[in-house]
Structure 1
Amino acid sequence: MSPALLSAQVRRNLRALLGGHLITYALPLLTTPFLARTLGPAAWGVLAAAQAFALLCALLIEFGFDLSGAREAARRQTDRAGLGQLLSGITTAKVVLTGAAALLTLGAQQLVPVFREQPLLLWAAFGWAAAQAWNSLWFFQGIESLGQVTTVDIVLKVMGTALLFMLVGGPADAWLVPATQGGAALASALAGLWLASRHAPLRWPGWSGAWLALRAGGSMFVFRAASSFYATSSAFLLGLFVAPQFVGYYAGAERIARAFQGLLTPLHRALFPRFTRLAQAAPHEAHAAFRSGMRLMLGTGVALSVTASVGAPWLVPLLLGENFGPSVPLLRVLGLLPAVISLNMTLGLFWLLPRGLDLAFNLTVLGAALLNAALIVWLVPRGGPLGMAAAVVVTELAVLAVLTAVFAWSRRPARPARPAGLT
């Protein structure tokens, strides 16, 4: 393992991120059996659809700042004024984007029947997702100082989960799920913003500062928007084709699979700033670090996929209950995601983005979104939830194929310039 890759600072940040993400994904593993039994497949399906739509709104508010902001903060680690300008610009931009997302939610309430029937659930889900989008983790990831903010986040998430268990008692209480979790997320976001302001001055940057932040985050927003179309909105899209009960079966399997996949997140978040700095300051060292990062990510991804897919017959009844038998084959398919996505993360976040190859990365993901849309139209009417699971996995495999080709192309040695006068 490259020593530059896992320095003491990276190891500290990795421990902090692992702690935060273990809680982030352990808590849903605790709440999933409770909610599956308390709400039932139908109410849980409606909740899943509302949360999936709300996460699309969060995507707009976040606007790729988790990547563009972290990358820029890593470059400005020693520039306090520059960090303050970055933090202020992104904060102002998020205010504008939150207003735009609220207008989209109002439109969805009028156009989508299930949201029109349950507006309280829809707006509670919006508040939960918006609060998550306001998290300042990107700032601390960039400056590689994650211990304090992750501790605060863990404590508040545990408190929110405790409230969920105390308040949710039946299908009619579905809105309380995002309400309790959203309250904890909002408190965490405010605490994180206060902690960030202690590292960098938070001032009104003017509309020009917000515009600069939006322009810098634009390319990463394209990536996040396109990838989320086929990664986080599956339950919402599936609800356009099948009954809520079948959405519930799919949502149960997807949440287990995504919980396993989420264990990759601490690795790429801890390592991304380091790869960004190495790509600029020490290209040869970055090559060795990339190989180490690939082995680490792939080994972890394969272990997670084997556990999820092979263990599906035991995980589903344990976590969801006996009523979710149709979720077993869905988890077998979706369980393949961690292995495939570990490679996609490595190629995209550790190689292409640190080298400024945003366009190639974004075009790949945009193409994947179009492919996924075509696969949904073709497979879901024929295969229902299983067709949706297949569409998601095939799309990620297509992304892997293209990113591998771009990676190989980017490593080609430059051709020597032809001497003048030769034809």
Structure 2
Amino acid sequence: MNKNFKVRSVKYNLLMNIILKISGIIFPLITFPYVSRVLLSEANGKIAFAASVVSYFSLLASLGIPSYGIRKCAEVRDDEEQLSKVVTELLILNSICTVVSYLVFIVLILTVPQFSNEFLLFSISSLTILFNMLGVEWFYQAIEQYQYITVRNITFKIISILLMFLLVHNPSDYIVYAGINVLASVGSNLLNALRLPNYVKFGIANQKYNLSIHLLPILTLFLYNATTIIFTSLDQVMLGFMKGNVEVGYYATSIKVQNILVSFITALGAVMLPKISYSLKNEGMEHFDRMIRKSFEFILVSAIPICFLILLLAKEIILILAGEDYLPAVPILQFLAPSLIFIGLSSVTAWQLLIPLGKQRYTVIGALAGMIVNLCINFLAIPVYGGVGAAFASSLAECAVLLVHFRVLKEIINRTFEMKEFMISLLSTFVASAILLVTKYFFAINVVLLAAVVYSMIFLIVYIVMLILCRERLMSEVLQNVRVRMNKRGI
């Protein structure tokens, strides 16, 4: 047993992960409205464009090492010598890839006008490539130091928020904000590098390193990561080249709203993955099917109403989070709304079905299908419709990913995806939407924040009442649990 670190209980690590997830939702809600109003669309578009481009080089620098490193280091973490050997080998590979990535990046930044015109911005943004290599985040995840990861992550987010309020006051400060973004996302990796010698012994005498044994699994994971990252950031890169930074700014604003909602809808996946894997191995297919069925029900009950609420309140959401300068982002957000349903369902099919069942290659095929659909529609739609065309392409691409998963998992989907629950959620959403539309027509509220809160509450109340009246299963179970607890307390 390696005595250099203490592995906490599953419950404790889960709590730390939940806190980290919540912070990932709360902090954008703090920074987003301020930055949107201060930097305005064009400056935000420049930052988003640079971040999207740099993400490709970060991908090249890391290959599949982050995903592979977690698994490989976890296998040998009780053997200090073997752990040190694996970490050193992966660091050597990571360093080589980082150097290659930077060389390609430097050539492009000097030769491509869209890059060279913002040389300082791209240079600062590219620091994430170096910090990701130094940070070895995968190592700390492998040895389950989630308390350290969570505390360190939140601390640097707080520091970044303070710096943002102190230093970012007008659109010309966008380069300063780009630097603060780097600090928020990977600045804490410097602490990782400084702490690493406490856990890993480098340069052990007579130690022979074998890099080749890691190459095949790393390249396989790289293929999956590459298709996923290219697929998710393709819209903003193509918009930057074809329509300019202002349009990217509008699109990036809508994507930030989408990402916040996706974090909520897909939060169940991280919690369910270990439970699903255990159930599949130890508790039989009947229990496994029951858990998958509940996961689908949760996605349907949450994603469908959120999608429609975004369609109906997109203007209010953009005004609250970004301001009037970003009103062109309203139709973009509306066209992105359906993707919430597709992403939610594919989070179940990928993380709770394909991966535990050993069918990871189909996640790659699904991502490739989505990337092809996205690329083709973007070429046709962006020149004419700009960000709206990119949003339409993104939603169709997410649908393509889900269709691939459903095709591969047809037998399991037939057992676990119940059309009755889908129709109940859809009917309840339609009724809530109709009542909200009538309310907005006859009772207009001029204060935007108050309007969003009141309209959302009306929609939510009607939706929940409809679920209860239709005896939706998940809602019925919640009510039953509440009744049991109340009876125990004598209420």
TM over 0.5: yes
Aligned-partner SS, 2:242: coil
Q: Which amino acid aligns with 1:176?
A: V
Displacement of 1:335 after TM fit?
A: 2.7
Identity over aligned pairs, percent:
22
- Counterpart CA distance in 1 for 2:203 and 2:291 is 39
Q: Which amino acid aligns with 2:239?
A: L
Q: Which amino acid aligns with 1:260?
A: L
- Counterpart CA distance in 2 for 1:162 and 1:122 is 23
2:397 to 392, 395, 398: 395
Verify: 1:336 aligned to 2:332, yes or no.
Answer: no
2:315 to 310, 313, 323: 313
8 Å contact kept, 2:231–2:367: no
**Root mean square deviation, CA, Å:** 3.3
Q: Are residues 378 and 214 of structure 1, via their aligned partners in 2, closer, same or farther at CA, if it must alter by over 3 Å?
A: same
- Counterpart CA distance in 2 for 1:193 and 1:302 is 43
- Counterpart CA distance in 2 for 1:301 and 1:325 is 24
Aligned to 1:353: 355
Structure 1 residues 329-360: Cα deviation after superposition (integer angstroms, max 9, x where no partner): 11112233332112212211222223332322
Aligned to 1:124: 124
Verify: 1:362 aligned to 2:361, yes or no.
Answer: no
Displacement of 1:66 after TM fit?
A: 4.2
Aligned to 1:163: 163
Aligned to 1:243: 244
Q: Which amino acid aligns with 2:390?
A: M
8 Å contact kept, 1:49–1:235: yes
Aligned-partner SS, 1:357: coil
Q: Are residues 244 and 304 of structure 1, via their aligned partners in 2, closer, same or farther at CA, if it must alter by over 3 Å?
A: same
Q: Are residues 185 and 258 of structure 1, via their aligned partners in 2, closer, same or farther at CA, if it must alter by over 3 Å?
A: closer
8 Å contact kept, 1:10–1:144: no
8 Å contact kept, 2:45–2:249: yes
Aligned to 2:256: 255
Aligned-partner SS, 2:165: helix
Deviates more, 1:369-378 or 1:346-355: 346-355
8 Å contact kept, 1:62–1:133: yes
- Counterpart CA distance in 2 for 1:243 and 1:224 is 27
Aligned to 1:181: 181
Name stretches of at least 5 consecutive residues in structure 2 with no aligned partner. Answer: 1-7, 415-491
8 Å contact kept, 1:85–1:209: no
Structure having the higher Rg:
2
Aligned to 2:45: 45
- Counterpart CA distance in 1 for 2:264 and 2:96 is 32
Q: Which amino acid aligns with 1:201?
A: V
Deviates more, 1:291-300 or 1:100-109: 291-300
8 Å contact kept, 1:57–1:130: no
Structure 1 residues 87-108: Cα deviation after superposition (integer angstroms, max 9, x where no partner): 4443333222222221232133
Deviates more, 1:160-169 or 1:272-281: 272-281
- Counterpart CA distance in 2 for 1:196 and 1:278 is 35
Aligned to 2:22: 22
- Counterpart CA distance in 1 for 2:223 and 2:152 is 30
Displacement of 1:396 after TM fit?
A: 0.5
Q: Are residues 410 and 102 of structure 1, via their aligned partners in 2, closer, same or farther at CA, if it must alter by over 3 Å?
A: farther
How many pairs were matched up?
405
Deviates more, 1:31-40 or 1:8-17: 8-17
- Counterpart CA distance in 1 for 2:58 and 2:307 is 27
Aligned to 2:373: 371
- Counterpart CA distance in 1 for 2:251 and 2:407 is 32
Name stretches of at least 5 consecutive residues in structure 1 with no aligned partner. Answer: 1-7, 413-423
Aligned-partner SS, 2:126: helix
Alignment of 1:230-309 (within 5 A): 230-264=231-265, 266-273=267-274, 275-276=276-277, 284=285, 286-296=288-298, 299-302=301-304, 304-309=306-311
Alignment of 1:138-149 (within 5 A): 138-149=138-149
Verify: 1:380 aligned to 2:382, yes or no.
Answer: yes
- Counterpart CA distance in 2 for 1:299 and 1:29 is 24
Aligned to 1:92: 92
Displacement of 1:218 after TM fit?
A: 2.0
Deviates more, 1:276-285 or 1:339-348: 276-285
8 Å contact kept, 1:141–1:269: no
8 Å contact kept, 2:134–2:192: no
Q: Are residues 192 and 341 of structure 1, via their aligned partners in 2, closer, same or farther at CA, if it must alter by over 3 Å?
A: farther
Aligned to 1:59: 59
Q: Are residues 87 and 249 of structure 1, via their aligned partners in 2, closer, same or farther at CA, if it must alter by over 3 Å?
A: same
- Counterpart CA distance in 1 for 2:260 and 2:315 is 17
- Counterpart CA distance in 2 for 1:217 and 1:275 is 25
- Counterpart CA distance in 1 for 2:103 and 2:170 is 30
Q: Are residues 380 and 39 of structure 1, via their aligned partners in 2, closer, same or farther at CA, if it must alter by over 3 Å?
A: same
Q: Are residues 157 and 327 of structure 1, via their aligned partners in 2, closer, same or farther at CA, if it must alter by over 3 Å?
A: same
- Counterpart CA distance in 1 for 2:157 and 2:250 is 26
- Counterpart CA distance in 1 for 2:35 and 2:279 is 45
Q: Are residues 184 and 397 of structure 1, via their aligned partners in 2, closer, same or farther at CA, if it must alter by over 3 Å?
A: closer
Aligned-partner SS, 1:346: helix
- Counterpart CA distance in 1 for 2:201 and 2:278 is 25
- Counterpart CA distance in 2 for 1:278 and 1:192 is 34
Structure 1 residues 47-95: Cα deviation after superposition (integer angstroms, max 9, x where no partner): 2111111122222234344433344456556666555444444333322
TM-score, normalised via structure 1 length: 0.83
- Counterpart CA distance in 2 for 1:144 and 1:346 is 24
Q: Which amino acid aligns with 1:222?
A: L
8 Å contact kept, 2:109–2:119: yes
Structure 1 residues 298-353: Cα deviation after superposition (integer angstroms, max 9, x where no partner): 55544654554443221101111111111111111223333211221221122222
Aligned-partner SS, 2:241: coil
Aligned to 2:108: 108
Deviates more, 1:217-226 or 1:54-63: 54-63
Aligned to 2:429: none
- Counterpart CA distance in 1 for 2:412 and 2:76 is 26
Aligned to 1:32: 32
**Which runs of structure 1 show a deviation greater than 6 angstroms over 4 or more consecutive aligned residues?**
none
